[in-house]
């Protein structure tokens, strides 16, 4: 079946622009995670949803970052007033049951110029 | 969050076994040991996980020390497609299965 789908694959934004990154989870996967991966580093946790409830947003770096999952399926990560330090790959991961493996998408590479 | 320590990089010859070490001296009794790998330009993919006993699957084997303070991921016959960054991660139900990634080990495979 289809895996986790993220769009767009690449996004170039001018500093100060708002961006929205989309994650389509595997059907039926109730848990959804967002990670940020800077070049040469491991992914860093941003936020976690269980269905539509955002249970953990401790990793969001500033109030410019906002994530939502209104119907418990598709999720959007929004970054307002982008800065150069926001340039990274943003990864979405989902899982079906609590101890099931995480399934990652291939990410959105955001470049802020 | 419990921490793991891995070598920055390792090199292997094709068709030979590879042993990737991971130290986790502060592991708690409820921490599972997870391994993921990330190929270039892709998201991480699950490799294997375990709690106390050694584990085998079609991709790899996981050997866990008796005191659980270290573990080793074993790739039985490395191929060029195994060249990736390998992450050893501790996961705990208390934290909602949130996985905290480190820098991982870059595995290079020579033909």
List pLDDT tens digits, range A68-108: 999 999 999 999 999 999 999 999 999 887 778 899 999 99
Using the beta-carbon criterion (under 8 Å), do B43 and A104 form an inter-chain contact?
Answer: yes
| pLDDT tens digits along B29-49 | 888 999 999 999 999 999 999
Distance from CA of A44 to the nearest CA of B (A): 7
pLDDT for the residue numbered A113: 97
**Average pLDDT in the A31-40 region?**
95
Burial class (CB in 10 A: 0-12, 13-18, 19+), A13: middle
**pLDDT beyond 80 at B2:** no
B-chain residues within 8 Å CB-CB of A43?
44, 101
**Average pLDDT in the B64-76 region?**
96
Q: What percent of chain B has pLDDT over 70?
A: 94
Euclidean distance between CA atoms B78 and B109, whole angstroms: 7
Euclidean distance between CA atoms B65 and A112, whole angstroms: 45
| pLDDT tens digits along A42-75 | 999 999 999 999 999 999 999 999 999 999 999 9
Chain A residue with minimum CA distance to B46 = A101
pLDDT for the residue numbered B77: 95
Euclidean distance between CA atoms B93 and B57, whole angstroms: 23
pLDDT for the residue numbered B94: 58
- Contacts with B, A 60-79, CB within 8 Å: none
B-chain residues within 8 Å CB-CB of A107?
43
Burial class (CB in 10 A: 0-12, 13-18, 19+), A16: exposed
């Amino acid at each position: 079946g289809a895996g986790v789908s993220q769009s767009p694959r690449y996004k170039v934004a001018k500093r100060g622009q708002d961006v929205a990154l989309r994650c389509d989870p595997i059907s039926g996967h109730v848990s959804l995670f967002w990670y940020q991966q800077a070049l040469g580093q491991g992914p860093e946790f941003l936020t976690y949803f269980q269905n539509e409830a955002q249970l953990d947003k401790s990793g969001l770096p500033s109030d410019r970052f906002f994530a939502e999952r209104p119907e418990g399926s598709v999720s959007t990560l929004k970054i307002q007033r982008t800065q150069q330090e926001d340039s990274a790959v943003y990864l979405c991961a989902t899982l079906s049951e609590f101890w099931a493996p995480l399934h990652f998408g291939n990410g959105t590479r955001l470049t802020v110029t | 969050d419990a921490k793991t320590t891995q070598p920055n990089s390792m090199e292997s010859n094709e068709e030979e076994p590879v042993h990737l070490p991971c130290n986790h001296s502060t592991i708690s009794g409820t921490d599972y040991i997870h391994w993921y790998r990330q190929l270039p330009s892709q998201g991480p993919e699950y490799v294997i996980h375990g709690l106390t006993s050694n584990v085998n699957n079609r991709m790899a084997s996981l050997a866990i020390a008796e005191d659980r303070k270290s573990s080793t991921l074993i790739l039985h016959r490395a191929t060029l497609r195994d060249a990736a960054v390998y992450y050893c991660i501790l996961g705990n139900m208390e934290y909602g299965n949130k996985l905290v990634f480190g820098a991982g080990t870059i595995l290079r495979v020579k033909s």
